[in-house]
Amino acid sequence: MRGWMGKFRSLFLFGTLALILSGCGKDNLSALKPKGYSSELILDLMLISIAIMIFVFVIVMAIYAFVLVRYRQKKDDEDIIPKQVEGNKALEVIWTVIPIILLLVLAVPTVQATFDLADRSTQDDDGVLTVEVTGNQYWWHFNYKGEEISSSQELYIPTGERVYLDMKASDVLHSFWLPSIAGKMDTLPGENINTMYLEAYEEGVYWGHCTELCGPSHSLMDFRVVAVSQDEFEQLKEDFRNIDPEAKPETDSAVEGQKTFNNKCMSCHAIGNAPMGVGPNLSNFANRERIAGILEPTKENLVSWITNPDEHKPGNKMPANLVDEQQAEEIADYLLQLDHTDVGEDAPTQSEE
């Protein structure tokens, strides 16, 4: 019975572990597969500390095993008291000096990287982009400083150059975590602006999460960073500036949807460049990787979101039942044709394995 239970238990343990670990392999959400300057630097630090830990572990375990075997009590030795040693200068020097060296090997690159990641020396240079990031329960807003464009849930950046982020929160603490490009930075309510920078090496769509428990839908507070070439980024700015919120959609259903949207939804949402509202900016909504950061961008999901957002993100600040089912469908037709730029459409997305 016991044996069977034991076997079952380890099977269960390994099964669970395998499940948990399989969640760690997403290409575009992994600190272990860096695609940017900061994440590469951070991975190097992790590898140095792991190497040092393994080194210490192996040496200590080797000595431990050696002592266990070499100095164990032998058959006829019961009455013998071994030679008593009180202190050994050489040994003490060794086990003080070696850890100091190890700590230095760890400290020097860590301090260097800390200063490097906090560097803002080029932020005010010409042509350097700063994005003002705001964390909200449960969505992210991005305002491209001096560019007169803004976006929500999805941040567009050019590859191969530093983009600075000036970060804050509108309500409670959040944390912006973008493991494959950079690290993690808290966003604080109030006057304190935290900063970091992103430098993506490759074009692509990178996934991010909020990592500061901020309410019931904290775990659903996702965002995407779309890195495009510098030329495409120029094009994107142009396209975004030209968004006309009043542009007439092609189908009758979408035209109706636009009317209802302008009546019932514009108090919180914006299309085109506008200061941050109560809800996300929906410019270019049709190009989004996800609805509300989490849902596959299908019409069905969108209608379901519009009629009952709370079902998808408990506790979020969008009211339910503002419109009936048919109006929701018309609005969905309208929103799903807000396709104002081709930029980023062919950026490689996360491999779905």
Question: What is the binding site for ligand HEC (CB under 6 A)?
Answer: 138-139, 152-153, 261, 264-265, 267-269, 278-280, 288, 291-293, 305-306, 313, 316-319, 322-323, 331, 335
- Match 């500061």 to its residue by tokens: 212
Which one of ligand HEC, Cu ion, none is in contact with 131 (Cβ closer than 5 to 8 A by kind)? none
Question: Of the two residues 117 and 294, which places its CB atom closer to ligand HEC in the complex?
Answer: 294
Give least dist CB 348 to ligand HEC, A: 21
**CB contact set of 259 (below 8 Å; sequence gap of 6+):** none
Interaction between residue 221 and Cu ion (CB under 5 A): yes
Three-state secondary-structure class, residue 62: helix
Q: Which does 225 bind (CB under 5 to 8 A by kind): ligand HEC, Cu ion, none?
A: none
Minimum gap (Å) between residue 298 Cβ and ligand HEC: 12
Give min distance, CB of 38 to ligand HEC, in A.
Answer: 26
Taking the least distance from each CB to ligand HEC, the nearer of 39 and 153 is 153
Could you write out the DSSP letters of every residue in 198-255? E-BSS-EEEEEEE-S--STTGGG-EEEEEEE-HHHHHHHHHHHHT--TTPPPSSHHHH
- Nearer to ligand HEC among residue 29 and residue 292 (C-beta): 292
Q: What is the b/e burial string over 150-178, where b = at least 16 CB atoms within 10 angstroms of the residue's CB?
A: bbbbbbbbbbebbbbbbbbbeebebbbbb
How many residues of this chain bind Cu ion (CB under 5 A)?
Answer: 4
State the minimum distance, in angstroms, from the CB of residue 145 to ligand HEC.
Answer: 21
C-beta of 149: minimal distance to ligand HEC in Å? 16
Number of helical H runs and strand E runs in the chain: 8, 10
Q: List the single partner that 317 binds among ligand HEC, Cu ion, none, CB under 5 to 8 Å by kind.
A: ligand HEC
306 contacts which partner out of Cu ion, ligand HEC, none, CB within 5 to 8 A by kind? Answer: ligand HEC
Buried b (16+ CB within 10 A) or exposed e, 70-88: eeeeeeeeeeeeeeeeeee
Decide whether 156 or 261 has the Cβ nearer to ligand HEC: 261
CB 36 within 8 A of CB 157: no
161/186 with CB nearer Cu ion: 186
- Beta-sheet strand order (sheet of 222-228): 154-158, 222-228, 204-210, 174-177, 184-187
Q: Judged by CB, which is closer to ligand HEC: 164, or 261? A: 261
The CB-of-214 to ligand HEC minimum distance in angstroms stands at 10
- In the shown chain, the binding pattern of residues 141 to 180 toward Cu ion, with x for contact by CB under 5 A and - for none, equals ---------------------------------x------
210 is a contact residue toward Cu ion (CB under 5 A) = yes
Are 174 and 209 in contact by the 8 Å Cβ rule? The answer is no
Of the residues 131, 155, 214, 228, which one makes contact with Cu ion according to CB under 5 A: 214
- Contacts to Cu ion by CB under 5 A: 174, 210, 214, 221
